[in-house]
Every structure is written in C-alpha cells, then in structure tokens.
C-alpha cells in the first residue's frame, strides 16, 4: 500500500542522505547504513524530516536504530506525529 | 568516529568526525552543550591559594608555578620510564597544526565549538590606523584580523597522521609514535579539570587492524596499572566524545555502542562525576582513509591512540594525596622521583 509518509521519507533521503545508491533500489527494511548513509547524511536527513513534519526527534530517538531503515524512520515519525496531535 | 557496526558497505568510518582524543570532560551527556562558566570551584580556589595555579582572568587559562611544573615533569618522566621498552618513535610538534589539516581531519564536523584558529593582522598602514581607532573606541578590533594558515591543536596526535602518510606506505610492523603537546579546546570553565590549554601525552599505534586493536586492548590494562601505581582510584568505562549539537548525540551514541572510546576516570571534583585522565581511542581506518595512510599491503591503515592528560593526572594526585607533594605517600614519591 503506498504510504505518503514513506514517500516523503524517500524523497528527503534521496535529497539529503548522500547515498551511494538510488533510493528507489532500497527496500523499506534495507539497512541504510549499509547503503552508505553517513553520520553527516543522517544529521542532514534528521533536520530535513524535522522541518518537513514540524517535529523534533527527542534524544532517545537519536540512535543508529532509528535511522537504520525507512520503516524505522516511519515508525518514529508516526509516533512523534501522534504525540503532536494528542498534545 | 562512527561507522556501521558490521563494517560492511562503502567507505564506512571515513565519514564521521574523528575522535577528539581526551574528552574535555568525563561527563555523560556533554554532547553539544554550550560551555557554562560558573564561579570558581572550591578545588580551583585551593589550587590558586596554594600557589599551584595562577589566575589570568580568563577561565580555563592559568599560569603554572614551579611546583606544579615539577609535578608535570615528573609525571611525564614516569610515563617515559613505563613506555621506554616499547620502542616508540618520539615526535614533538608545536601546539598548532596547518589549518588545512584541521579542515581535512573532519574535526569541524564533530567539534566546531571546541576548535580554535589563529588570526593575524595583515593590512597596510591605513588599516592599522583603523584597528587602533577601533581599539581606542572599545569597538571590536579583531575584525581587522584575517585567519592565518595556523589552527590550534585540539589533540596531540593530529599531526602524526599526515606526517607518517607523507613517508609512504608503513613498514610491515606498522608504526608506534610517542607524541605530546599543549592542546587547545574552546571550553571556558571554572573547573580546574577543564582547561582551555592543557598538555596531552599520547601513544599512537598505526598499522593492521588486529595489531591496532590489540594495542588499544593492551593499554586498557597498562593504563589501569599506571594509575594503580600512583595509588589513585579509577574506573574504566566506554565513553564518547563531546560531539556538537543534536546530530552529535547520534554520533556519540554510536561511538559508545561500538566501543570505540574508553576512558579511565578518576574522581577529582566533588560534583559532576569523575574526570577522564586517560582516553583510549580506536579510530579504525578513519585517519588511514582521511590522510592516505597505507599499510605495507597498501590498505588504509587502522589507528588507535592512548592519551594521558598531564594536568588532569597532576590534579588527581593533588586531590588524593594532598596539595604538598613532599608529604605524599613514600611509594608515590619514589615513583615520581620527588
């Protein structure tokens, strides 16, 4: 099922992630670090996601796990967006 | 530095900021927090009143008395005796490095808040007049200066990597270097354990991954023995460098997760946790790739360093054995030749 959130993450990953490979070739559960995501790229991606969705990643989510896959990022963002709504 | 745990994929480890060597403090969660300058700590007051450190008016910038310097020299000699058999090449550099090497090293990616560069006036007589007018009027005259080719040294080992890389591929056994220098970190503080200028003595091992890792592991034991000999209490723990900003938190978590940095901590201050007196850093092939350091087989070399904070060790001794070295335990005095 196409997911708007995942599409947005993919678009920002393509723009900010400085990956060595085409984002279209990466599955939602593929390891982004193995795909060449750098520390620097992950910070750029984090800042772009925060700006796009109007959220802030709390310290507990600033781990390599959160940025390991597109799916993990989507899960983290859904959680942050839900917290926004209920707040 | 950070790199995927499994080490697979493209140039991992070549991207992240390098370790800063000895952390400016041994505290957790210091990543990217702005320096705060509180009142002088009790210990700092004790040290200045005892005439060991001399206030200059700038936090973290102190003069050293003859007694304090004698202590630093004895610690340095103690380290020399305990490493004499290692056969390290002894290199010494000024407390500065070419600005382009700082830029190339990746330090600014992780620690922009700690870096310092040297600026100087390069204008003509007219510009000189303008500078003096600014000075007299209490305006910011430093805008009349331009950056030079020189940056302040953030950790003693930084000049080692480009220097060795320039020699060509390493010999079969790799390299072992003993290096020491004054270092600068822009981190004004009123705690004597956090200085803007301090001395760091380092042992740097460069070569094949296994040899480098073995060196680091071996030094975790040797470091503990050194501190035991000095009759100081210590703990060794995994640590992270004080990376800048929120992105830095991720780098810090990653560094810790991968066990790339260990610190030997000694309680020195009354609050805020123990202080890192030694740090053990495994850079993997980060500097090998950054500076083109090659093994004899032509692979990017791995590297690791062990840093000893000389002032911090002196402060630990003064804290635990008293402000008068002549009254320290006999065994400690014998070791330090005091």
Instruction: Please give the pLDDT value at position B39.
Output: 74
| CA distance to partner chain B, nearest, from residue A6 (Å) | 22
Architecture of domain B42-116+154-336: 2-Layer Sandwich (3.30)
Give the CA distances from residue B12 to residues B178, B265, B299, B329, in Å, rounded to whole numbers and listed in that order.
28, 30, 14, 49
Q: What class has domain A4-86?
A: mainly alpha
Closest CB to A63: pick one of B4, B15, B250.
Answer: B250
CB contact under 8 A, A40 and B253: no
Q: Do B250 and A39 touch (CB under 8 A)?
A: yes
Q: How far is A64 from chain B (nearest CA, A)?
A: 6
**Whether pLDDT at A7 is above 90:** yes
pLDDT tens for A16-54 read 888 888 999 999 999 998 998 888 888 889 999 999 999
How are beta strands B175-184 and B145-152 bridged, if at all? Answer: unpaired
User: pLDDT tens-digit profile of B262-274?
Assistant: 999 999 998 889 9
Which residues, given as ranges, of chain B have pLDDT below 70?
1-38, 338
Instruction: Using CA coordinates, name the residue in chain B closest to A33.
Output: B4
> Structure tokens of A86?
């209920």
pLDDT, residue A59, reads: 87
B122 to each of B94, B119, B136, B143, how far by Cα in Å? 22, 9, 19, 12
pLDDT score for B68:
97
Residue-range domain boundaries for chain B: 42-116+154-336, 119-149
Strand partners, B267: none
- Alpha-carbon distance B301 to nearest alpha carbon in chain A (angstroms): 20
Q: What's the CA gap between A66 and B253, in Å, rounded? A: 12
pLDDT at B1: 36
Q: Rounded distance, CA B288 to CA B209, Å?
A: 11
């Amino acid at each position: 099922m196409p997911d708007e959130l995942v599409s947005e993450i993919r678009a920002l990953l393509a723009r900010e992630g400085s990956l060595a490979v085409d984002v279209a070739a990466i599955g939602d559960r593929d390891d982004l670090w193995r795909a060449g995501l750098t520390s620097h790229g992950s910070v750029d991606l984090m800042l772009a996601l925060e700006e796009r969705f109007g959220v802030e990643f709390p310290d507990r989510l600033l781990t390599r796990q959160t940025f390991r896959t597109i799916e993990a990022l989507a899960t983290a963002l859904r959680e942050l967006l839900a917290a926004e709504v209920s707040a | 530095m950070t790199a995927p745990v499994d080490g697979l994929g493209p140039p991992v480890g070549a991207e992240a900021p390098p370790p800063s060597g000895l952390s400016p403090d041994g505290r957790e969660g210091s990543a990217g927090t702005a320096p705060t300058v509180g009142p002088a700590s009790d210990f700092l007051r004790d040290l200045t009143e005892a005439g060991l450190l001399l206030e200059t008016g700038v936090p973290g910038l102190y003069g050293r008395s003859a007694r304090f310097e004698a202590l630093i020299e004895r610690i340095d000699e103690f380290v020399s005796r305990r490493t004499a058999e290692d056969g390290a090449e002894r290199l010494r550099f000024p407390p500065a490095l070419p600005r382009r090497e700082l830029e190339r090293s990746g330090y600014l990616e992780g620690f922009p808040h700690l870096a310092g560069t040297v600026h100087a006036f390069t204008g003509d007589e007219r510009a000189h007049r303008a500078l003096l007018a600014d000075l007299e009027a209490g305006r910011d005259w430093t805008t009349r200066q331009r950056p030079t080719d020189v940056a302040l040294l953030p950790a003693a080992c930084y000049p080692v990597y480009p220097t060795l890389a320039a020699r060509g591929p390493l010999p079969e056994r790799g390299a072992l270097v003993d290096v020491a220098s004054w270092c600068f970190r822009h981190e004004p503080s009123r705690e004597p354990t956090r200085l803007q200028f301090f001395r760091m003595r380092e042992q740097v091992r460069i070569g094949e991954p296994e040899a480098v890792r073995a060196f680091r592991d071996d030094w975790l034991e040797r470091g503990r023995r050194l501190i035991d000999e000095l009759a100081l209490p210590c703990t060794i723990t995994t640590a992270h460098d004080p990376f800048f900003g929120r992105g830095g938190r991720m780098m810090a978590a990653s560094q810790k997760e991968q066990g790339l940095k260990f610190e030997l901590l000694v309680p020195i201050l009354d609050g805020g946790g123990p202080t890192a007196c030694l740090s053990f850093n495994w850079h993997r092939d980060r500097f090998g790739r950054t500076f083109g350091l090659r093994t004899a087989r032509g692979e990017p070399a791995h590297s690791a360093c062990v840093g000893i904070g000389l002032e911090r060790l002196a402060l630990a001794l003064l804290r635990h054995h008293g402000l008068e070295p002549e009254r320290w335990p006999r065994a400690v005095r014998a070791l330090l030749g005091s």
